[in-house]
Amino acid sequence: MELTTHQLTHSDPVLERRFSDCGLPDHRQWKFCWTALAFRQSDSDNFSFQTSFTLGSSDFGERQIEVRFKDEAGNISKPFSDNITRLDTTPPQPLSFSLLGTAGNDNFSKWGNVSFIDNATDDVAPVGMYLSENSTTPLDNAPGWQAYANTGTFQLSAGQGEKQVYLWFKDAANNISSYPTDTITFDNVSPTANGILINSGADNTTSSTVILSFDNVTGASHYFATDDASAPTPTATAQGWKLYPAINSDNFTLTGTGNRLVRVWFRDEAGNLFGVLSDNITRIEVGPWTFTNAGATGRFGPTQAQIDSAYSSTNLTGAVTINTQRIQEWTVPTTGTYRIDTFGAQGGAEGSGQGGLGATMIGQFELMSGQTLQILVGQQGLTTGNSGGGGGGTGINLVGSSQPLVVAGAGGGASTQGDPGLSGTTATSGVSSSGSGE
């Protein structure tokens, strides 16, 4: 900056001058440096001069400059001062601005008062921000300026549809930034639908996969379907929403058997929900169900723990009960005609002789939903070191009946001499063998 001094007088020649700047005109912590004058004056000289001076601080605002003079005798003049204001002329610089939507989609909002996030930088600091749907730069004293923050809310104008929002920042010197902008679609109207059908209104199905058909759906971007009776109404951001199909139908997987009630909700991009609509269908399970000895050996059949382990991840999971070890109890799920294939176990080997194979028995039976079958699965005979043990027969009995539905005989054990055991027969009586059998 330039300093001008006028009408300087002194009885002795002035040799040096000094300047100081404390930032505010309160005489705190003056910093002095003496600078020799380039010329001498006579006792009667009056003179003026200009010189350059660098402010001691880069802060903006009012500064006070003080000047003193010294002669050859070391006498120092009284201070002379003047004030000047250093102006901030650089506006804040916008860094980011985003409107936040609903339902995890920042392009849509079902609320008129939308949230936003922003960021800006400045030589000093941003102090205010102003949002509007009008792109005209606001005056620095316009109503609507609010304190600068990195988050906030903005009230959209009335009416559905896309809204464009502009954001300005200003600093303490009232420098106003350029604007970043973002758009969002305001939608607070829920979708609509008339109804749903499962498999075109069928009463039952043997497949776990069915087709959901949607009737007269408008405004939906996603749908949520469940046959879990305990499931609550889904939130707009819940897991399980699927894109609404352009063909107005989609596959759905039933999670159980029997009567299944399927409930459906619809939502749009803004998260407005509609529902619930429902339809039901009976899923008839047709098997096959495969029962085994669950890895048990010897005279005793499987325990409940062995059954639970062997049938995990099968269609028998949790469906088989052991009340008496080795006898498996299973409830008929659906009334109908069932084909039952039974296989007797092989007899035990001895030396080079193999045990006889078990018989196979197949039949069809009319069973009713809720009836309980008792199933005994034969186990392979053991090698005893004398003669092979006979295998175990497999039989199925209907609880409450005095006669089994079907029995498949087991194979005989091999002889001590290594002769093979005899295979099971389909006759009503067994045959003699070297090894015993059931």
Pair (296, 380) in one structural domain:
yes
Q: How open is the CA angle 417-423-428, to the nearest 5 degrees?
A: 130
Q: What are phi and psi of 309, to 5 degrees?
A: -70, -45
Q: Where are the beta strands (DSSP E) in 110-158?
A: 113-121, 126-132, 146-147, 151-155
Where a domain ends, among 165, 186, 207?
A: 186
Q: What residue type is assigned to position 423 of the chain?
A: S
Residues in contact with 21: Cβ distance below 8 Å, sequence separation at least 6, in sequence order: 31, 53, 55, 56, 57, 63, 64, 65, 66
Same domain as 438, residue 290 = yes
Judge if 81 and 59 occupy the same domain: yes
Task: Answer yes or no: do 104 and 243 share one domain.
Answer: no
Query: What are the pLDDT tens digits along the chain (438 aa)?
Result: 455 554 445 455 544 555 555 444 444 444 444 555 444 445 455 667 677 877 776 677 677 888 887 877 888 888 888 887 777 889 999 999 999 999 999 999 999 999 999 999 999 899 999 999 999 999 999 999 999 999 999 999 999 999 999 999 999 999 999 999 999 999 999 999 999 999 999 999 989 999 999 999 999 999 999 999 999 999 999 999 999 999 999 999 999 888 999 999 999 999 999 999 999 999 988 889 999 999 888 788 999 999 999 999 898 999 999 999 989 999 998 888 999 999 988 888 887 788 888 889 999 999 998 999 999 999 888 887 777 788 888 899 999 888 899 999 888 888 877 788 888 777 766 666 554 444
- Distance separating alpha carbons of residues 425 and 438, to the nearest angstrom: 12
| One domain, residues 339 and 413 | yes
CA–CA dist 111, 270 (Å, integer)? 9
Domain residues for the domain of 49 are: 2-86
Tokens of 399: 């609880």
Q: How far apart are CA 117 and CA 131, in angstroms?
A: 12
Residues 43 and 122 placed together within one structural domain of the fold: no
Whichever domain contains 77, its CATH number is: 2.60.40
Q: Which of 70, 86, 102 is the last residue of a domain?
A: 86
d(CA 239, CA 368): 39
d(CA 192, CA 172): 51
In Å, what is the CA distance from 135 to each residue of 154, 178, 179, 182, 225?
15, 10, 8, 12, 44
14, 5 in Cβ contact below 8 A? no
Cβ burial, residue 131 (10 Å; 0-12/13-18/19+): buried
Residues 6 or more apart from 150 whose CB is under 8 A from it?
117, 118, 119
Domains: count for the chain: 4
- Residues 284, 221: Cα–Cα separation, whole Å: 33
Do 163 and 249 have their domain in common? no
Token pair of 156 as six digits: 């959209």
* Beta-bridge mates of residue 242: 223
The token pair at 296 is 């048990």
Amino acid in the structure at residue 390: G
Residue with tokens 């949607």: 214
For 184, other C-beta atoms within 10 Å of its C-beta total 24
Burial (CB count within 10 angstroms: exposed 0-12, middle 13-18, buried 19+), residue 413: buried
CA proximity to 155, closest of 191, 105, 111: 111
Q: Are residues 290 and 264 both part of a single domain?
A: no
Domain boundary among 186, 218, 244: 186
The three-state (H, E, C) secondary structure of 86-122, written as one string: ECCCCCCEEEEEEEECECCECCEECCCEEEEEEEEEC
| 169: phi then psi, degrees, rounded to nearest 5 | -120, 150
Whether 278 and 300 share a structural domain:
no
Report field, pTM of the whole predicted structure over 0.85 = no
Same domain, residue pair 298 and 395: yes
Q: Is the dihedral of CA 230, 235, 237, 240 positive or negative?
A: positive
Instruction: Answer yes or no: do 154 and 241 share one domain.
Output: no
Contacts of 183 (CB under 8 A, 6+ apart): 99, 107, 162, 163, 164, 165
- What's residue 171's pLDDT? 96
CATH number at residue 155: 2.60.40.10
Q: What is the pLDDT of residue 46?
A: 64
Asked if residue 321 and residue 354 are part of one domain, the reply reads: yes
Rounded-to-integer distance, Cα 344 and Cα 293, Å: 11
Tokens of 199: 């498999």
CB 128 within 8 A of CB 290: no
